[in-house]
Amino acid sequence: MSEDQTPDSFPLFGEERENPPPSAESVLRYLSQTLSVTKTLKRFPSLSPKYLQEILLHSADRLKEGPQPSLSSLPPEEAKPSPAEPARKEFPEFFIYTDGASRGNPGEAGAGAVISDSQGRTLKELKLYLGMASNNVAEYRAAIHALERALELGARSVTLYLDSELVVRQLRGEYRVREPHLRALHQKAQEVLNRFSKYSILYIPREENRRADQLANEAINQKNDK
């Protein structure tokens, strides 16, 4: 959920620096999921149309060179990993979309999340009734709940998407967390994130996070239906 700017949202280090261009891998992965150049350019503000074109042309050139040989196609002596350079183990990479809903802010609240793998397949959908809570508390608890479940599913690398710019910037360390009740949740989220070998936290517009929002509201509705 979006929220009004508060003192918590003041930049920690003064003026924001211009963001560096995103990695080609993250751009191509997002483009493959949305199949939309417009959404991709909007998702990465520092990505120019020319740079996106260069990424696509470079990828096409690499494909033109031919696929890389697999271990099974190499001679036995080449297929064996060198003792000095053991084969690198790839860790499961998950993508998590989370959202928190609060009716009244504070009011009855719910958390929702979608966990998918690197192929875009949905592994788990989560919804949790939170009782009375603010939007920001719901956002934090949704993220923590989803991250903990991702660990249980075997994730070692994770990309976390939220539509709360405030929470994203706080988790990145760009904004201070002044409210005491949010500090504990912020600390808990950081502790869970540090259990992954690699993680990144990204902001997305609300319209790209509709399923997680739907799950958060379903949690509230189902509680009230009982």
Sheet holding 93-103, edge to edge: 122-133, 107-117, 93-103, 157-162, 198-203
Residues 180 and 98 in one domain: yes
Structural domains counted in the chain: 2
Residues 118 and 68 in one domain: no
In a domain, 83, yes or no: no
* Cross-strand partners of 129: 110
Query: Which residues, 6 or more positions from 26, have their beta carbon under 8 angstroms from its beta carbon?
Result: 44
Instruction: Show the tokens assigned to 91.
Output: 């860790």
| Residue 12 is assigned to a structural domain of this protein | no
**One domain, residues 127 and 196:** yes
**pLDDT at 189 (0 to 100):** 98
Same domain as 72, residue 99: no
- Residues 138 and 173 both lie in one domain: yes
Is 112 part of a structural domain of the chain? yes
Alpha helices in 2-159 (DSSP H): 24-34, 37-43, 49-64, 76-79, 135-152
Q: Are 211 and 121 in contact (CB under 8 A)?
A: no
Q: Is residue 45 part of a domain?
A: yes
C-beta of residue 83 within 8 angstroms of C-beta of residue 104: no
The rounded average pLDDT for each run of 10 residues, N- to C-terminus, in the chain (226 residues) is: 48 49 77 76 80 80 61 44 47 92 96 95 97 97 98 96 97 95 96 96 96 98 80
74 burial via Cβ count (<10 Å: 0-12, 13-18, 19+): exposed
Question: What pLDDT score does 110 carry?
Answer: 98
Residue 225: closest CA among 129, 142, 98:
129
What is the predicted pLDDT for the residue at 72?
Answer: 47
Q: Is residue 85 part of a domain?
A: no
pLDDT of residue 136: 97
Q: What does pTM read for this prediction?
A: 0.63
Tokens of 27: 């751009």
146, 197: one domain: yes
Do 72 and 147 lie in a common domain? no
Domain carrying residue 109: 93-225
108 and 65 in one domain? no
Give yes or no: residues 102 and 56 share one domain: no
Phi first, then psi: give them for residue 157, nearest 5 degrees: -130, 135
Q: In this structure, are 191 and 98 located in the same domain?
A: yes
We report the CATH number of the domain holding residue 203 as 3.30.420.10
User: What is the Cα Rg of the chain in Å?
Assistant: 20
Same-domain check for residues 142 and 203:
yes
Same domain, 201 and 118: yes
